[in-house]
C-alpha cells in the first residue's frame, strides 16, 4: 500500500461502523472518502473518561489510529485559571454522522455551518454537496486560518468567515440547511431571516444534550421534535468572552452530607438530566463517569452550589454552598409524576417573539420558556 493512501482502509472501516449505526449510503461514502487525519494532526484524543492523552507529536501510525477512531480530537487549547481548556475540536464521528443524517440534505442544498473548528465537518459537506454550496463561520480567526489550510490541502475552498455565529452569514443567504457544532441556549434570531422556505436547522442545545431539529414553516417559525440521540458540544462564544473561569461562590461554606429518597436510577438517567436543566437553567449536570450507558458519578452545580454524587446501588451525595438539593428532589418528583418522559416526547418551537420547549405537543401545558 502506498504510504500516502494508508488512511483509506481506516476511513472505510470508520464509514462501515457509522453505516452499522444507521448512516445512509450517501453519507457513508462521504466518510470513506474524507481524510480526517488531515484535520486533527497535533491534536489530543479524548477517551471515554474525558482524558486527553499528551499526543501533540504523533507518528504516522498513531495519527491514523487516533484520527479514525470514533472519538473527539481536541485541536486547540487555551490556558485558563492555570489549566488547559479545550477551545476547538473535531467532533466524535458518530455524533457528526447523526447530525448530518438529521440535516436531511438534498443534492442542491445550500448549507451554513456554525462553528468551523478544524474544518472536518465542512470537508464532509463539500464532498457531498460541492464547495460552492457550503458556508462556514467561526469566531476564532486562528481557528479559521487553520481550517482554511486544512481544507485547501485536500482540495476544497468553501466560503469561511470570521464572525459571531449568532449573526449567521447574511451575505450568502438564503440557506436550505443550518447546522451548528456548538451548544446554544436559544436559536439566534438572525438565523430566521437567512432561511429559505422549507429550510431545516439542526443545533445542539445547552440543556441535557438535546438536539434541536427544526423545520421552517410557512409563517417563518421553526418547530420540531427532539430525536432520541443526545449530543454535547462546546458552548457558542461571543466577541469578548473570556476562557477564564469565574470563581465559585460555594468555597467558603462547609460541605453537607445529603440524605435522600430519590430513586437511585433517576440521578443516573440522561433523560432526567434534560428535565432538570430545562426546568432550572442555571443548573448544570457534569457526568464524570459513565458505566453501561448510565451516569455513576455526577456533579450538579450552579455558580453558588456544587453537589458531588455517586450513584452505584445507593446515592452518596455531598453539597457545598447554597442549598440546591430540594430543587433537585422536587424536579425528580415532577419527572416521575409525568411518567419519566424521554426526549423523544419533547420538541421545540421558535418564533420571532418567543422560544419554548414542550412536552408531547406544541400547545402543551407542560413547557419551558427559553
Residue 44, pLDDT score: 66
Per-residue pLDDT tens for 209-228? 999 999 999 999 999 999 99
Contact 138, 132 (CB under 8 A): no
DSSP state of 23: -
User: 3-state DSSP call for residue 273?
Assistant: helix
Poorest-pLDDT segment among 38-52, 74-88, 205-219, 303-317: 38-52
Q: Active-site residue 91, yes or no?
A: yes
pTM listed for this prediction: 0.90
Compute the C-alpha angle 276/346/219, nearest 5°.
Answer: 125
Residues 88, 91, 136, 221: which is the catalytic one? 91
Percent of the chain's residues with pLDDT above 70: 86
Residue 86, pLDDT score: 73
Across residues 278-303, what is the average pLDDT?
80
Q: At residue 336, does pLDDT exceed 80? A: yes
State the pLDDT confidence band at 252, using cuts at 50, 70 and 90.
low
| Domains of the chain in sequence order | 6-225 (3.40.50.150), 249-338 (3.30.310)
Residue 48, pLDDT score: 46
Closest to 63 in 3D by CA, of 38, 84, 81:
38
**Order of strands, edge to edge, in the sheet holding 72-80?**
44-46, 72-80, 83-90
The residue ranking higher by pLDDT, 321 or 98, is 98
Q: Give me the residues paired with residue 76 across strands.
A: 88
Average pLDDT, the chain: 89
Across residues 63-87, what is the average pLDDT?
81
State the pLDDT confidence band at 359, using cuts at 50, 70 and 90.
very high
State the pLDDT confidence band at 179, using cuts at 50, 70 and 90.
very high
State the pLDDT confidence band at 295, using cuts at 50, 70 and 90.
low
Q: How far apart are CA 229 and CA 202, in angstroms?
A: 12
Closest to 85 in 3D by CA, of 140, 149, 39:
140
Amino acid at each position: 500500500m502506498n504510504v500516502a493512501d494508508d488512511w483509506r482502509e481506516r476511513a472505510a472501516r470508520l464509514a462501515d461502523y457509522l453505516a452499522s449505526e444507521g448512516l445512509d449510503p450517501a453519507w457513508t461514502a462521504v466518510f470513506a472518502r474524507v481524510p480526517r487525519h488531515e484535520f486533527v494532526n497535533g491534536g489530543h484524543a479524548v477517551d471515554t473518561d474525558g482524558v486527553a492523552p499528551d499526543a501533540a507529536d504523533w507518528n504516522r501510525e498513531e495519527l491514523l489510529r487516533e484520527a479514525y477512531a470514533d472519538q473527539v480530537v481536541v485541536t486547540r487549547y487555551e490556558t485558563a485559571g492555570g489549566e488547559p481548556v479545550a477551545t476547538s475540536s473535531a467532533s466524535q464521528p458518530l455524533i457528526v454522522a447523526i447530525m448530518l443524517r438529521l440535516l436531511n440534505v438534498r443534492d442542491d442544498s445550500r448549507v451554513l455551518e456554525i462553528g468551523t473548528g478544524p474544518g472536518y465537518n465542512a470537508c464532509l459537506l463539500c464532498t457531498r454537496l460541492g464547495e460552492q454550496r457550503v458556508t462556514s463561520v467561526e469566531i476564532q480567526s486562528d481557528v479559521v486560518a487553520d481550517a482554511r489550510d486544512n481544507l485547501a490541502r485536500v482540495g476544497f475552498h468553501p466560503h469561511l468567515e470570521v464572525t459571531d455565529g449568532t449573526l449567521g452569514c447574511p451575505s450568502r443567504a438564503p440557506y436550505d440547511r443550518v447546522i451548528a457544532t456548538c451548544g446554544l441556549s436559544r436559536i439566534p434570531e438572525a438565523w430566521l431571516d437567512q432561511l429559505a422556505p422549507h429550510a431545516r436547522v439542526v443545533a445542539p442545545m445547552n440543556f441535557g444534550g438535546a438536539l434541536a431539529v427544526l423545520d421552517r414553516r410557512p409563517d417563518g417559525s421553526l418547530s420540531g421534535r427532539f430525536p432520541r440521540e443526545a449530543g454535547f458540544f462546546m458552548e457558542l462564544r461571543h466577541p469578548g468572552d473570556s476562557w477564564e473561569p469565574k470563581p465559585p461562590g460555594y468555597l467558603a461554606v462547609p460541605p453537607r452530607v445529603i440524605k435522600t429518597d430519590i430513586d437511585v436510577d433517576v440521578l443516573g438517567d440522561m433523560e432526567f438530566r434534560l428535565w432538570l436543566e430545562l426546568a432550572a437553567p442555571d443548573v448544570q449536570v457534569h457526568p464524570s463517569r459513565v458505566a453501561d450507558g448510565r451516569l455513576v458519578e455526577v456533579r450538579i452545580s450552579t455558580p453558588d452550589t456544587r453537589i458531588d454524587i455517586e450513584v452505584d446501588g445507593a446515592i452518596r451525595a455531598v453539597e457545598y454552598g447554597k442549598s440546591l438539593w430540594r430543587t433537585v428532589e422536587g424536579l425528580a418528583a415532577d419527572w416521575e409524576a409525568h411518567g419519566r418522559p424521554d426526549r423523544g416526547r419533547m420538541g421545540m418551537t421558535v418564533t420571532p417573539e418567543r422560544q419554548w420547549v414542550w412536552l408531547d405537543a406544541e400547545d402543551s401545558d407542560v413547557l419551558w420558556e427559553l
